[in-house]
């Protein structure tokens, strides 16, 4: 790929001169400009406008920092945030922290030093220290998804307690009495809130979620596999299983089906997120939905409002989840224990 140095070498000028031509800054005589333009055409150089904006401290750039960009949930964040930015004339630069607090801190510090117009971030965990970094700079910031109470910056979150209530109410309405839950990491507030909502609803109906039927996962497919295998191996007495995200629910369902169990005939399974894969698998997954597009749009709008000095009356926006009922949940048709059968083949 051609670089600005290649343009300068071919045109016989300095890199700074090429930069002035590209950016329209500083005096450049017409003959020199023609040489640079010709060199750009010859080697088909395409300047990185986003990087130029970051270097020049202007360029309408918003940073988005997520824990796992390949994860479908955060891939949705990237997609919707990019659209929202484009609609308002902003570029988006994305950072993937891979769930590492030190990477998260380093990337956000880098964005701040490059004077982006604002930062939207979903923290690695509740122990994240990025707010301490952001508070030292006069840069608009908004937390989304993984936020905790009493943030010092505006936040946009899902009512995760309500999500747990929705999941429990749906399963109870189908006649289920014995439940299993695969949670997200318990050092993330959204995981704890979802579990609290589920437990609260179960108890309101005079039922109990046994501690042994709660499996802590990490929001990844593999932890769903592990949870599903644990339920089968320990012959746990459940007829309904909720995974706090779709990937874990699908992982568990994979094991249950390969173990000879019927979904939903023996065990009803539901997830959360309404990821694309939820409607692609068989049986299609019942899931608690999240308004990701609205979350990302509001986050970008908040950044732009703060940047332009507009008043922000509501610094904590809570969006409501919903439910999509598909094939993986059904009415209770048997009362008994999950069969402890050997898998027909490894997942």
pLDDT the model gives residue 127: 62
Instruction: Look at residue 327 and tell me if it is in a domain.
Output: no
Q: How are strands ordered across the β-sheet holding 118-121?
A: 91-96, 61-66, 118-121, 141-144, 155-158, 316-319
| Beta-carbon count within 10 A of 63 CB | 26
User: Which DSSP symbol is given to 115?
Assistant: T
Closest CA to 74 of 277, 273, 243, 301: 273
* Same-domain check for residues 132 and 11: no
pLDDT the model gives residue 345: 34
Of the three residues 289, 310, 332, the one that is the final residue of a domain is 289
Q: Domain range spanning residue 266?
A: 160-289
Instruction: Render each residue's pLDDT in the chain as its tens digit; 347 residues.
Output: 667 788 888 889 887 787 777 655 567 787 887 888 788 778 766 555 445 544 444 568 999 888 776 667 778 888 999 999 999 999 998 888 777 777 777 888 888 777 788 999 887 666 666 666 676 677 888 988 876 555 677 889 999 999 999 999 999 999 999 999 999 999 888 999 999 999 999 999 999 999 999 999 999 999 999 999 999 998 778 999 999 999 999 999 999 999 999 999 999 999 999 999 999 999 999 999 999 999 999 999 999 998 888 888 778 899 999 999 999 999 987 654 444 433 333 33
How far apart (Å, rounded) are the C-alpha atoms in residues 52 and 58? 8
Residue owning tokens 């988006």: 92
Contact 274, 203 (CB under 8 A): no
* Same-domain check for residues 217 and 150: no
Joined tokens for residue 7: 């343009």
pLDDT the model gives residue 22: 64
Joined tokens for residue 64: 């988005």
The total domain count for the chain is: 3
Strands (E), the chain: 61-66, 91-96, 118-121, 141-144, 155-158, 179-183, 214-216, 240-243, 268-273, 286-289, 316-319, 322-324
pLDDT the model gives residue 53: 46
Joined tokens for residue 36: 């640079």
* Same-domain check for residues 166 and 90: no
Instruction: Look at residue 268 and tell me if it is in a domain.
Output: yes
* Same-domain check for residues 145 and 76: yes
* Same-domain check for residues 253 and 175: yes
Contact 170, 270 (CB under 8 A): yes
What is the 3-state composition of the chain as percent helix, strand, coil, each rounded to the nearest 5?
45, 15, 40
Instruction: Look at residue 312 and tell me if it is in a domain.
Output: yes
How far apart (Å, rounded) are the C-alpha atoms in residues 41 and 32? 14
CATH number of the domain residue 26 falls in? 1.10.260.40
pLDDT the model gives residue 178: 95
Closest CA to 257 of 186, 345, 326: 345
Instruction: Look at residue 344 and tell me if it is in a domain.
Output: no
Instruction: Look at residue 55 and tell me if it is in a domain.
Output: no
* Same-domain check for residues 94 and 24: no
Rg (CA), the chain: 25
How far apart (Å, rounded) are the C-alpha atoms in residues 179 and 169? 12
Instruction: Look at residue 97 and tell me if it is in a domain.
Output: yes
Q: State whether residue 2 is helix, strand or coil.
A: coil
* Same-domain check for residues 74 and 189: no
- DSSP letter string over 57-82? T-S-EEEEEES-TTSHHHHHHHHHHH
CATH number of the domain residue 146 falls in? 3.40.50.2300
């Amino acid at each position: 790929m051609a670089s600005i140095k290649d343009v300068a070498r071919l045109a016989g000028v300095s890199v700074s001169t090429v930069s002035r031509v590209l950016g329209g800054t500083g005096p450049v005589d017409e003959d020199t400009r023609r040489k640079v333009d010709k060199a750009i055409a010859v080697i088909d150089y395409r300047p990185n406008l986003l990087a130029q904006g970051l270097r020049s401290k202007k360029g309408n750039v918003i940073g988005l920092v997520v824990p796992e960009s390949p994860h479908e949930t955060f891939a949705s964040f990237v997609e919707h945030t990019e659209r929202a930015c484009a609609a308002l004339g902003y570029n988006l630069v994305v950072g993937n922290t891979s769930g590492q607090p030190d990477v998260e801190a380093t990337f956000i510090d880098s964005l701040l030093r490059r004077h982006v117009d604002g930062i939207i971030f979903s923290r690695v965990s509740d122990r994240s220290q990025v707010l301490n970094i952001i508070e030292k700079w006069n840069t608009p910031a908004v937390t989304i998804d993984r936020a905790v109470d009493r943030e010092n910056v505006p936040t946009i979150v899902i009512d995760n307690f309500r999500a747990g209530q929705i999941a429990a109410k749906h399963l109870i309405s189908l006649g289920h009495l014995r439940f299993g839950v695969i949670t997200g990491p318990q050092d993330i507030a959204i995981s704890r809130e979802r579990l609290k909502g589920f437990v609260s609803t179960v108890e309101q109906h005079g039922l109990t979620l046994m501690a042994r039927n709660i499996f802590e996962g990490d929001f990844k497919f593999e932890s769903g596999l592990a949870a599903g295998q644990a339920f089968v191996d320990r012959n746990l007495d459940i007829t309904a299983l909720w995974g706090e995200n779709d990937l874990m629910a699908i992982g568990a369902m994979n094991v249950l089906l390969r173990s000879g169990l019927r979904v939903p005939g023996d065990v009803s399974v539901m997830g959360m997120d309404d990821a694309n894969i939820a409607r692609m698998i068989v049986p299609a997954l019942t899931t608690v939905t999240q308004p990701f597009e609205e979350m990302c749009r509001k986050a970008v709008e908040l950044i732009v409002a703060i940047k332009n000095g507009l008043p922000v009356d509501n610094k904590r926006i809570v969006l409501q989840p919903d439910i999509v009922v598909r094939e993986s949940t059904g009415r209770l048709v048997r009362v008994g224990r999950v069969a402890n059968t050997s898998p027909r083949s490894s997942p």
